[in-house]
Amino acid sequence: MAVSSTPINLTLAAHVGISVSDLDASIAFYTALTGREPVAQGTMHSVPFGKSQGLPVAKLRYATINLDNSLGIDLIQFQEPVGERTGGVANRPGSMHLCLRVDDFDAVYTRMKDAGYDFLGDDYTFIEGEVTPDAALGTRVAYFNDPDGTNLEIIRPEGGFAS
């Protein structure tokens, strides 16, 4: 796919969409994670919407949970056509992760571990010599998955590193 180098200037995110296998289980997970109830829930059955996503039809259930910075998390359970899980492998092209910013990393990390969240590995702090730019030095991260294997991250950025 060839794309022009002319800037489009898209700089504000509205939401992130996450395909899920069980909407009710995902609502429970993300409500516990964020402390927020869905602001919208519903169903859709549309051929034109499906075609806009490269699918023959889109029959789905959805819920949206909003975060403080106005970013919405759209949870979407496709009932027709049903898709296959990605397996949550971070290095697969096309996989994504949602990063949630925290101010007190230790407190959030401990609360999550105590609540039963399984982290993929130990938490990590970026050190000198392995990451550029230096603005990332001291940034602390930990990764975990939602019930469908979507990669999620908590981060406490340092310096000018925002994500």
pLDDT at 105: 94
21: Cβ contacts below 8 Å, ≥ 6 apart: 77, 85, 147, 148
Single pTM value for the model: 0.86
pLDDT at 12: 79
Domain with residues 13-84, CATH architecture: Roll (3.10)
88: Cβ contacts below 8 Å, ≥ 6 apart: 95, 145, 148, 149, 150, 151
Report the 10 Å Cβ neighbour count for 152.
Answer: 21
pLDDT at 5: 85
- Range(s) of the chain covered by CATH 3.30.720.110: 85-163
Domain with residues 85-163, CATH architecture: 2-Layer Sandwich (3.30)
pLDDT at 94: 74
User: Average pLDDT per run of 10 along the chain, which is 163 residues long?
Assistant: 80 89 97 96 89 89 93 94 81 84 94 94 86 77 92 84 55
